[in-house]
Amino acid sequence: REDLNIHCKSKDDDLGPHVLHINQYFRITFQPNFFFGTLFFCSFQWGNGPLFHFDVYDQNTDYYKCDADCKWYVHKNGPCRNELQDNSSYVHKCYPWKQ
């Protein structure tokens, strides 16, 4: 299996490039900005393969979906996470990569 190259940033913070081996994780910790919103986006690349992009946290859409703890599981076909529903239960959702 190939290593995963990841690079995450927001408007204000560049978290730099990281290399994840199988079963490793990368954690982003922050406080949402309630006046201007918070957006973190990352690029993902396995080995020398194609570069994929995804918004890992958009305050406008994610604030109530992850209960302040958004855990993404990244796969070659797209990122997945458990999202909080209106009835306080979780559902597993996967998303396509951004073009």
Highest mean pLDDT among 30-34, 70-74, 82-86, 87-91 belongs to: 70-74
- Residue 8: inside a domain: yes
Q: How many domains is the chain partitioned into structurally? A: 1
Contact 65, 84 (CB under 8 A): yes
Domain that holds residue 55: 4-94
Residue 86 lies in a domain: yes
Q: Whole-angstrom Cα distance, residue 61 to residue 44?
A: 21
In a domain, 28, yes or no: yes
Give domain status of residue 99, yes or no: no
Percentage of the chain exceeding pLDDT 90: 51
In a domain, 34, yes or no: yes
- pLDDT at residue 14, rounded to an integer: 95
Q: 97 to each of 1, 22, 23, 43, 54, how far by Cα in Å?
A: 20, 20, 21, 10, 6
Residue 69: the pLDDT is 75
* CA 18 distance to own-chain centroid: 14
Q: Is the pLDDT of residue 96 over 90?
A: yes
Mean pLDDT of the chain: 88
